[in-house]
Amino acid sequence: MKSGLSVLGEFGLIGRIRRDRRRNRSVIVGIGDDAAVFALSRGMAGLVTTDTLVDGTHFDLSYTSYFDLGWKAMAANLSDIAAMAGKPLLAVVSLTLTGKQTARAVDDLYRGMRALGNRYDVTIAGGDVVRGKEFSITVAVIGESHRDNVGLRSGAKPGDALLVTGSLGASQAGLDLLKSKSRNKNSEFTEKHLRPAPRVDEGLTLARKFELHGMIDISDGLASELHHLCTESRCGMVIDQGALPIARQAIERSAAGDKDPLDYCLYGGEEYELLFTLPPRDAVRAIKVLGAMGTDCSVIGQVTSGRSVRIIGPDGKARLLADRGYRHF
């Protein structure tokens, strides 16, 4: 019989969560005290980021398992650390449970968080479990980065090349497939949506090899993140439509649905790819360096003076790119 949380109780639940005693060397005191205690490496700056996922707004349990939900909650935060070119160290997790989640479901949620976290030696070192009427999960991740080489949204400079890792559009295409009535929901099409891979190693490699300029991760969609970079860096951008690395899944899903593959690429969220700028000479080297670790990377345009974000279409004409993507309000 599954044990409901009303039977298990808050402290029983915390006991279950504590069972995993894996520690990384950054965590001095983990779950079970008033706060977690951690160490930063000598001379490094700390990073902290947090993301909340709410049932019905950010995930749908009809096609998302608790394991995948845990994975994604961790991925969203690791991606933010990656976007600072940082190394993630530990996480704290706040759960709001409605009483309907079984102990097994909560175990699966933590298994999902740990499955991804363990890849980067990230420990869940504390958190909070509360009761509410709506199920949600808030993860905060602590990381570290070199103080003088952080990937900032404000670091883009006119003349920089604009680069993006991987391909774009597969997450949204996978989501559309999951929501559709199609019976053929194979994991190749849905993996990027359900188990996104944050670009932690890529961010760290870029920080090791280059003096970083602008950097952000793609969580709300490419168009939206381009505007964030421009706003924070007080610059403009021009994108080559033909250079955009549109994911194969986006192209195939477009054939089945009614969306343009370009829409998936420009406006699809939850990609967790890195969007960054470097001087053109470094950009060429960055593509090689990331390629050597198996990660595709493309130059998709350049940083300009002015403040507009434009895209050059196949007709050779530049048009303004709308600042839209996923909005919570």
Site for its own copies in 122-181 (CB under 8 A): 125-134, 136, 138, 140-143, 145, 147, 150-154
**Among 183, 262, 276, residue whose Cα is nearest residue 226:** 276
39 vs 243 by CB, closer to its own copies = 39
196 binds its own copies (CB under 8 A): no
Closest approach of Cβ 47 to its own copies, in Å?
Answer: 4
311 binds its own copies (CB under 8 A): no
280 binds its own copies (CB under 8 A): no
**Neighbour tally for 127: CB within 10 Å:** 18
- Sign of the CA dihedral 16, 115, 125, 141? negative
35 binds its own copies (CB under 8 A): yes
14 binds its own copies (CB under 8 A): no
Grouping H, G, I as helix, E, B as strand and the rest as coil, residue 135 is coil
Stretch that binds its own copies, among 65-73, 76-84, 156-164, 276-284 (CB under 8 A): 76-84
Residue with tokens 């883009």, as numbered in its chain? 156
Binding map of its own copies across residues 98-117, x = CB under 8 A, - = no contact? -x------------------
Stretch that binds its own copies, among 49-57, 113-121, 258-266, 305-313 (CB under 8 A): 49-57
Pair 203, 85: CB distance under 8 Å: yes
Residue with tokens 């989501």, as numbered in its chain? 175
Closest approach of Cβ 75 to its own copies, in Å?
Answer: 13
CA 93 to chain centroid? 17
199 vs 253 by CB, closer to its own copies = 199
Grouping H, G, I as helix, E, B as strand and the rest as coil, residue 315 is coil
Query: 236-240 and 274-278: which strand pairing?
Result: unpaired
- Per-residue b/e over 238-273, b at no fewer than 16 CB within 10 Å? bbbbeebbbbebbbebbeeeebebbebbbbbbbbbb
46 vs 291 by CB, closer to its own copies = 46
75 vs 246 by CB, closer to its own copies = 75
51 binds its own copies (CB under 8 A): yes
83 binds its own copies (CB under 8 A): yes
Closest approach of Cβ 253 to its own copies, in Å?
Answer: 26
Catalogue the E-assigned strands of 86-229. 87-97, 123-131, 136-146, 161-165, 215-217
